[in-house]
Amino acid sequence: MTVHRITRLRIVNAYLVAEDDGLTLIDTTLPRSAKPILKAAGRLGAPIRRIVLTHAHQDHIGSLDDLVAALPGVEVLISPRDARLLAKDLTLDPGEPGKLRGGYSGARTRPSRTVEAGERIGSLEVVAAPGHTPGQIALLDERDRTLYCADAYSTLGGVATTAKVNPRFPLPALATWHAPTALASARELRALAPTRLAPGHGRVVESPGAAMDAAIQRASASTPESASLPRR
Ligand SMILES: [Zn+2]
């Protein structure tokens, strides 16, 4: 499959995934990005049928409301946990440690429905990837094992988990809610043996296995394991 990446300000990505009935948009990047996203879909000659949000940080949901206004009938999908963050409910669940980090601007749009790990969205399998946010999801294209990993990994300034700050692009790790959970998710995603890593920030990396292993190793050295949460 061809990966269709839309990049804003050279640091934030959205993706268009081709399906038989049209396109699935993964994330919406920053505010004022609806136009370039719609243009990219136009170039592919197919309608955007659904928008999947990997998590509710503002640099991923920024153009959601504008896109929903421009795409009547479009379906909007997000995990139940991050749906609350999308609605600007920033309370933590009982047992959730630490505090939320990063920007949660919220959106007027409410999801059409929420999605759980193991569900399919067209060719994409929903994979739990909590840690960066409590309800982050990744998406695995079962046709070729392209992994849309959200902010579980960043590739800007080198492949890195968001459990540990990468000095060359610290933002995603600084916006991460719970590092031990993020590290556990990074391991789970590695175990899926993706052929291609398509992150929220940075370029798409082919055959990412060795780079993911190295990133996990770097983060393991500085992240406490014992505090890791049970996976939802
Ligand atoms: Zn994020």
Q: pLDDT tens-digit profile of 135-147?
A: 999 999 999 999 9
pLDDT score of 50 = 98
Tens of pLDDT, residue by residue over 186-206, are: 999 999 999 999 999 999 999
Give the 3-state secondary structure of residue 216.
helix
* Bridge partner residues of 7 (DSSP): 13
Output the CA 46–ligand 1 centroid distance in Å.
28
Choice among 99-108, 118-127, 160-169, 223-232 with the minimum mean pLDDT: 223-232
Output the CA 153–ligand 1 centroid distance in Å.
10
Of 197, 215, 118, 122, residue with least CA distance to 160: 215
Output the CA 172–ligand 1 centroid distance in Å.
6
Q: Which residue has the higher pLDDT, 40 or 10?
A: 40
For residues 190 and 18, give the distance between their C-alpha atoms in angstroms, rounded to a whole number: 24
- On average, the pLDDT of the chain sits at 95
State the pairing for strand pair 196-199/146-150: parallel
pLDDT score of 224 = 76
Output the CA 104–ligand 1 centroid distance in Å.
9
Output the CA 141–ligand 1 centroid distance in Å.
21
Q: How many residues does the chain have?
A: 232
Output the CA 198–ligand 1 centroid distance in Å.
14
Tens of pLDDT, residue by residue over 21-30, are: 999 999 999 9
Output the CA 103–ligand 1 centroid distance in Å.
8
* Token pair belonging to 69: 């206004």
Range list of β-strands (E), the chain: 4-8, 12-19, 22-26, 48-52, 75-78, 113-114, 120-121, 124-128, 137-141, 146-150, 153-154, 160-161, 196-199, 205-206
Output the CA 72–ligand 1 centroid distance in Å.
27
Tens of pLDDT, residue by residue over 158-177, are: 999 999 999 999 999 999 99
Output the CA 52–ligand 1 centroid distance in Å.
14
Output the CA 67–ligand 1 centroid distance in Å.
19
If pLDDT is split at 50, 70 and 90, which confidence band does 45 have? very high
Output the CA 66–ligand 1 centroid distance in Å.
20
Of 1, 67, 63, 6, residue with least CA distance to 33: 63
pLDDT over 70 percentage in the chain: 97
Cα angle 122, 125, 127; round to 5:
150
pLDDT score of 219 = 96
pLDDT score of 231 = 54
pTM of the model: 0.95
If pLDDT is split at 50, 70 and 90, which confidence band does 230 have? low
Output the CA 31–ligand 1 centroid distance in Å.
15
Output the CA 85–ligand 1 centroid distance in Å.
12
pLDDT score of 96 = 95
**With contact defined as beta carbons under 8 Å apart, do 52 and 78 qualify?**
yes
**Does residue 4 have a pLDDT over 70?**
yes
**With contact defined as beta carbons under 8 Å apart, do 110 and 128 qualify?**
no
**Does residue 227 have a pLDDT over 70?**
no
